[in-house]
C-alpha cells in the first residue's frame, strides 16, 4: 500500500509518517519537496507515485498572520487542497484532509456534530473551510478530519510554551473562557492510520476525549510536570489578537461512534504520554 503524505515535516505530519511507515510504503513530502500551490508540481509528483492514499497535512496555520496574508492562506488551504484533491482523483487515490475546529464560530453551547452548519469567523477558518468544500466537490473517496488544540513532539505548541514560560516567569495568566479539547498528534495519527484503510468516507471530528479551558489545560501541564507556577485565570479580552478565537470549540465525535471506531483517549492521559515522550516525566 502506497501512502503519500503532504506537510510531512510539520507537527502532525511527522507522527503521521511514523504511524504509516511500519506497514506501508510512505512517500513523505515537506514544503521544500512539494509546493502544493504549484499545480504542475503536484500533478507531477502524485502521478509519478500513484499512491493509494493521500494524507493531506500541509496547511497554512498562522492564524493571526492570515488576517493580513489572506491570499497566501487561501493559496495554500484552498488552492493547494484543490490541487492535491484533483491529482488524487486522477490516480484513483483516497484523500484525507486535515481540517480544524475553526470552521465553527465558537458561539455554540453544546458539542458541534460533523454535519452542523459551519460559520468560520477568521481568514484561517474560512480558508480551511474552503478546502473542505473543494475536497467534497472534487473527490469521490474523501475523509475530512477536523481536529483541535494540537500538540506533539515535532513543533511548537501550547504545552511546550507553558513549560517554557512557567519556568522562566514563575507567574502566568491563561484564558479560562475558551473551551475545547486538546489533541496529541500520536493519537490522531493512530486514528488516521485506522480510518483511511476503510471505505467509511465522510467528515470526522477527532480530538482527545474530554474537554477543558486553556487554563485547565495549563494547570494539568504544570501538575503533571511538577512545575510550580503562580497560575491565574483571565478573560480573552485581556489578550487581544488579530484573529478571533472560538470561545467554544468542543466537537462531538458522532462519526467515530456511529462508524464503529474506538474514540481517542482522554486528553489528560495523552498529555502524560507526551510529557514522557519529551522527557519531562518518567
Please say whether the dihedral angle defined by the alpha carbons of residues 191, 193, 198 and 201, taken in this order, is positive or negative. Answer: positive
Which residue of the set 102, 124, 201, 248 is catalytic? Answer: 124
Q: For 61, which DSSP code? A: -
143 DSSP β-pair partners: 96, 202
d(CA 78, CA 26): 24
Q: Is 142 a catalytic residue?
A: no
Torsion sign over Cα 187, 193, 198, 202: positive
Q: Are 143 and 149 in contact (CB under 8 A)?
A: no
First-last CA distance in the chain:
36
Closest CA to 37 of 76, 8, 66, 6: 76
Residue with C-alpha cell 500513484? 50
Residues acting as catalytic residues: 124
Amino acid at each position: 500500500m502506497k501512502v503519500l503524505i503532504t506537510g510531512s515535516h510539520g507537527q502532525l505530519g511527522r507522527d503521521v509518517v511514523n504511524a504509516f511507515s511500519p506497514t506501508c510504503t510512505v512517500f513523505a513530502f515537506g514544503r521544500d519537496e512539494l509546493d502544493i500551490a504549484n499545480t504542475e508540481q503536484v500533478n507531477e509528483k502524485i502521478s509519478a507515485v500513484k499512491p493509494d492514499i493521500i494524507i493531506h497535512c500541509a496547511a497554512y496555520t498562522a492564524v493571526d498572520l492570515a488576517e493580513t496574508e489572506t491570499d497566501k492562506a487561501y493559496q495554500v488551504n484552498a488552492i493547494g487542497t484543490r490541487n492535491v484533491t484533483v491529482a488524487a482523483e486522477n490516480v484513483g487515490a483516497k484523500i484525507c484532509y486535515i481540517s480544524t475546529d475553526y470552521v465553527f464560530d465558537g458561539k455554540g453551547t453544546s458539542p458541534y456534530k460533523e454535519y452542523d452548519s459551519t460559520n468560520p469567523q477568521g481568514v484561517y477558518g474560512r480558508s480551511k473551510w474552503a478546502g473542505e468544500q473543494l475536497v467534497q466537490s472534487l473527490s469521490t473517496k474523501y475523509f475530512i478530519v477536523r481536529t483541535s488544540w494540537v500538540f506533539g513532539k515535532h513543533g511548537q505548541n501550547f504545552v511546550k510554551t507553558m513549560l517554557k514560560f512557567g519556568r522562566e516567569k514563575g507567574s502566568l495568566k491563561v484564558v479560562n473562557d475558551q473551551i475545547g479539547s486538546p489533541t496529541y498528534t500520536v493519537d490522531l495519527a493512530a486514528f488516521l492510520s485506522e480510518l483511511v484503510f476503510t471505505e467509511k468516507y465522510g467528515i470526522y471530528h477527532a480530538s482527545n476525549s474530554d474537554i477543558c479551558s486553556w487554563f485547565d489545560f495549563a494547570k494539568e501541564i504544570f501538575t503533571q510536570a511538577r512545575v510550580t507556577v503562580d497560575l491565574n485565570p483571565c478573560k480573552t479580552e485581556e489578550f487581544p489578537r488579530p484573529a478571533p478565537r472560538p470561545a467554544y470549540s468542543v466537537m462531538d465525535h458522532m462519526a467515530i461512534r456511529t462508524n464503529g471506531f474506538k474514540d481517542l483517549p482522554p486528553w489528560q492521559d495523552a498529555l502524560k504520554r507526551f510529557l514522557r515522550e519529551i522527557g519531562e516525566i518518567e
